[in-house]
Structure 1
Amino acid sequence: MLLGATVKNSGSRAPNPDASGCRSIREALILGSMLCLMMLATGCATPKVQQSDPHLLLKTGLLSFLQEGVTTREETVLNLGFPSMQMEGERILMYQLRADSDGKWYLTSPQWDAGTGLRSWKEGTSSLVLVFGKDGVLNRCSLVTTQ
């Protein structure tokens, strides 16, 4: 600056190049978050819960021993083996089943994805959910299917 020169201030600010960058980054983050939430929401399938029909589900030799109010947890594990999942300690046991062309149910195992290390089930696999009381006796038997 020269001596004696005056600087005139018009009162307006010079454009801040960082302000527009922050705005576009913020908008991109919001848009990305919204897209992720939409993808998660559409990817979730709500399972249909069906009460087990004793005449349909339990007529197969594999499950014929199951009787609500009679069968114990120990009998179940001895007949079906270790469950694919258990919740609330050992109060709720889950087994994965598939039906063959004759309508007979059999236990199935998961498929392991070597790339992700996660397990998945074949399409058409249903979950047999067995709920036991504090005394270890079967209270309720349900079949959960996904559609």
Structure 2
Amino acid sequence: MTAVLASCMTPVGSPDLLAFLKDDSTTREDVYLHLAEPSSTFEGGRILTYLLDEDKAGYILMRRREKTWNGKFSLVLAFDEHGVLRHHTMVRIRAFPNSP
């Protein structure tokens, strides 16, 4: 019964979800600890992307295992050869979660 109820719950946004991200100090390991597995990786793991949605409370991390794996934003993180975050940006990829 708990599993059924949990699957029906709508995720709630967090205003502090991305507060830990600091260019030139956050490590790739920090990102994995806070956000887990990325949506996509590029350049041998030097670029990670995470799919996010947003509600009135803040950002919501979209997980691959969710049936409706979509979102409004892509968080793009670029790391140097030592695994230190050099630049991060949020890119709007669609106006509404289910739009193309």
TM-score by length of 2: 0.70
What are the equivalent positions in structure 2 for 1:108-123 lying under 5 Å apart? 108-109=62-63, 112=67, 121-122=70-71
Alignment gaps of 5+ in structure 2: 1-13, 95-100
Specify which structure has the higher proportion of helix. 1
Indicate whether 1:101 and 2:50 are aligned. no
Distance 1:92 1:78 in 2: 16
Alignment gaps of 5+ in structure 1: 1-58, 113-118
CA offset at residue 61 of structure 1?
Answer: 1.6
Indicate whether 1:81 and 2:28 are aligned. no
Rate the CA distance shift 1:120–1:63 in 2: closer, same or farther, 3 A. closer
TM-score by length of 1: 0.49
Which of the pair has more CA radius of gyration?
A: 1
Indicate whether 1:133 and 2:80 are aligned. yes
Per-residue deviation, residues 19-50 of structure 1 (Å, max 9, x unmatched): xxxxxxxxxxxxxxxxxxxxxxxxxxxxxxxx
Specify which structure has the higher proportion of strand. 2
**Displaced runs of 4 or more, over 4 A:** none
Percent identity over the alignment? 38
